[in-house]
Amino acid sequence: MGYRGKVVHQQRARELRAEGRTLLDIATQLGTAKSSVSLWVRDVQFEPLPRTQARQRGPNILARRKQEQIARLLAEGRARVGTLSEREFLMAGIALYAGEGSKRDGDVSLANSDARLVAFFCRWLREFFAVEECRLRARLYLHDGLNLDEATGFWEEVTGIPRSQFLSPYRAVPDATIRASKHVRGCISVRYSCSRTHRQIMGLSAALFPSWQRI
């Protein structure tokens, strides 16, 4: 911030203090440190606002800047990635499976609560491997008290796997000592039992991530 900008902030801070604003309110509104505000307004006479008025804070500059940055970087990310080529799609799927997929021989499976990743995995699996649709299986992990039918319908649409191929769900009992939040639609595990396919994927993963070798 330049000298003039600091002077403007100091003057505005003094005006807000004279209106009865708290140091935290002023610092939040101006996007500056509370300690700086304290120095700028230390000689300003003020009467604290009633509690109901004090809660009516002005726009939060830091929060607004954060949201503007997130929106800008999201747009930049989309522009930078663009549309994936077939090879890029293959590479992204290998990386996803290397991080999240099962490494047990013959067990091609991935579990996640993020519908975007699950949909990506299912599309990738069907695109690059000879998958027999009737052998695909899905299993839902869902906390007790949540709507099983609704969650099953949601994941059926995401995965493209018919409900008849869903295995018996696992209903978890919430444990408040571990976590309070619950995924409304649960976590889905998509499985395809095929040794050849699993070994193909492991071969691709080994090629993309060679042991102890720098890129």
Structural domain containing residue 194: 86-208
Whether residue 124 sits in one domain with residue 96: yes
Whether residue 102 sits in one domain with residue 65: no
In the numeric block, the tokens 């040794």 are attached to: 195
pLDDT of the residue at 55: 52
**CATH, residue 112:** 3.30.1330
Residue 45 domain flag: yes
Whether residue 105 sits in one domain with residue 61: no
Whether residue 65 sits in one domain with residue 120: no
Whether residue 102 sits in one domain with residue 51: no
| Residues 33-70: tens digit of each pLDDT | 888 888 888 888 777 766 555 455 555 777 888 888 98
Q: Which of 79, 106, 122 is the last residue of a domain?
A: 79
pLDDT of the residue at 87: 97
Residue 191 domain flag: yes
Q: Which of 79, 110, 131 is the last residue of a domain?
A: 79
Residue 215 domain flag: no
Beta-carbon-side half-sphere exposure of residue 141 (alpha carbons within 13 Å): 14
Q: Of 140, 139, 143, 151, which is closest to residue 179 (Cα–Cα)?
A: 143
Q: Which of 79, 95, 123 is the last residue of a domain?
A: 79
pTM of the full predicted structure?
A: 0.68
Whether residue 95 sits in one domain with residue 68: no
Amino acid making up residue 196: R
Q: Which residues of the chain have pLDDT under 70?
A: 1-6, 49-59, 174-182, 212-215
Residue 214 domain flag: no
Whether residue 194 sits in one domain with residue 143: yes
CA distance 111 to 117: 9
Q: Of 148, 138, 89, 98, which is closest to residue 118 (Cα–Cα)?
A: 138
